[in-house]
Amino acid sequence: MNKREHDLIEAIYEAPLTEPVWSPSLKALRLALNSQGIVLLLRLPNEQDRGVIITDGLPGLEGEIGDNPYSDHFYSMDPFVNIPDNITVTLEEHLDMEALQASEFYRLSLEPFGIFHIAGIELSSGGDIDASLRLTRNKSEPGFSAEERALLNDLIPHLKRALRIHSRLESVSSEKELYAQAVSQLALATFFINENGLLVEANPMGERLLAANRGITLNAGKLSLRRPVDTQKLRAAIEAALKARARGDNVFAQAMPVYDQSGDCHLGLTVKPLAIKRHRESESEAVVAIFASDANARLDAPQAALTQLFGLTPAESRLATALANGLSLDDASKNLHISRNTARAHLRSIFSKTGVSQQTQLVSLILKSVAPLG
């Protein structure tokens, strides 16, 4: 293996980790093959989907392109299709070039970008990945040589592995984003702490709790409670969670109440260790999670979600949400500016639609439903 091939393989495996993804690797591949442009189709366009296309070297079409002529309609006219999988094929050997130059596709899609020579690869592994790579040159340049095609063929296994890694990372990232969105909507403040006890991240409820000055604040990057004794207990709980994590005890959880000046418990904290990763962890990574339930936190269940789940009217949804936030029927009717009789009529209708018969059951039903995630 020569140095050029070694450097290209290294760039290929870096592709899923770069930002923007694949772009630096495509540029390295384009330059090494003396190409004018390079196009990676991660997902092919169709009538319902614009696809995912990343390019380098084509004027006006750099990086991941959204609005582009190919995705608009040229994909349906593209004659460079149905080529064998996992082998480099040139446009010249696949098509009659005279007929191609007379076609609308060439005049509208290739010629404006100076594209004449194309080396194409269909990167496929029977369902796991299905991508297309195209390298281009203009008419004044020679076509792709046998040596260059051989180099591309040698790179195909590495391109496929990198695409597999990219696909796996995309799936994990998508799942993580979904979970993060779900957690961010819950009426539960969540804080992530690193091994030095510093706050790494908080969900929106956690950020609101910190901003509300309700007895939990940040002091030199660490969570602190209003009473020093509570802060000491929290630090001890974090230390215990770190020790539990070190011995692989992911079931460990330590709960502690936080009292206000009147002696009422207004916050409940639970400290849990996060699972140890298989690779080396940096000092900035979260290792402990702290969940905080706020007795005064308000549920904001969207009316549309309650309507879809239980068939409630907007007025019934507003009343149900008020009750779920701990208001009595009288207080809810005052806040909503409706009479008590109207509130009672709404409540009877809510009971009928949700199948419960008590206000406490209604509150539990709403809190346990997916409405807060809407």
CATH classification at residue 113: 3.30.450.40
One domain, residues 7 and 108 = yes
One domain, residues 285 and 216 = yes
What are 271's strand-pairing partners? Answer: 254, 290
Q: How many Å apart are CA 273 and CA 229, to the nearest integer?
A: 22
Q: Among the three residues 233, 261, 294, which one is the final residue of a domain in this structure? A: 294
In a domain, 101, yes or no: yes
In a domain, 278, yes or no: yes
Q: Among the three residues 268, 294, 320, which one is the final residue of a domain in this structure? A: 294
One domain, residues 49 and 197 = no
pLDDT at 64: 81
One domain, residues 82 and 33 = yes
One domain, residues 203 and 162 = no
pLDDT at 280: 66
| Three-state SS at 163 | helix
In a domain, 207, yes or no: yes
pLDDT at 209: 86
Instruction: Tell me the CATH number at 330.
Output: 1.10.10.10
One domain, residues 24 and 172 = yes
Q: Among the three residues 135, 156, 176, which one is the final residue of a domain in this structure? A: 176
- List CB contacts of 317: < 8 A, sequence separation 6 or more: 301, 303, 306, 307
**Structurally, how many domains does the chain consist of?**
3
Average pLDDT per run of 10 along the chain, which is 374 residues long? 88 90 93 93 80 85 75 75 90 90 87 90 81 92 94 94 89 72 66 93 86 87 92 94 88 84 73 81 85 67 73 87 79 89 91 84 69 52
One domain, residues 322 and 289 = no
pLDDT at 232: 94
| Domain with 116 in it | 3-176
Q: Other C-beta atoms within 10 Å of 212: how many?
A: 14
In a domain, 152, yes or no: yes
In a domain, 181, yes or no: no
In a domain, 110, yes or no: yes
In a domain, 182, yes or no: no
What are 56's strand-pairing partners? Answer: 38
One domain, residues 18 and 150 = yes
pLDDT at 181: 61
* Inter-residue contact 311 to 223 (CB < 8 Å): no
One domain, residues 24 and 116 = yes
Beta strands in the chain (DSSP E): 37-43, 52-58, 61-65, 89-90, 117-124, 130-137, 189-194, 199-202, 216-219, 222-225, 254-259, 265-273, 286-294
One domain, residues 25 and 154 = yes
One domain, residues 208 and 256 = yes
Q: How many Å apart are CA 133 and CA 30, to the nearest integer?
A: 11
Give me the amino acid identity at 18.
T
One domain, residues 307 and 290 = no
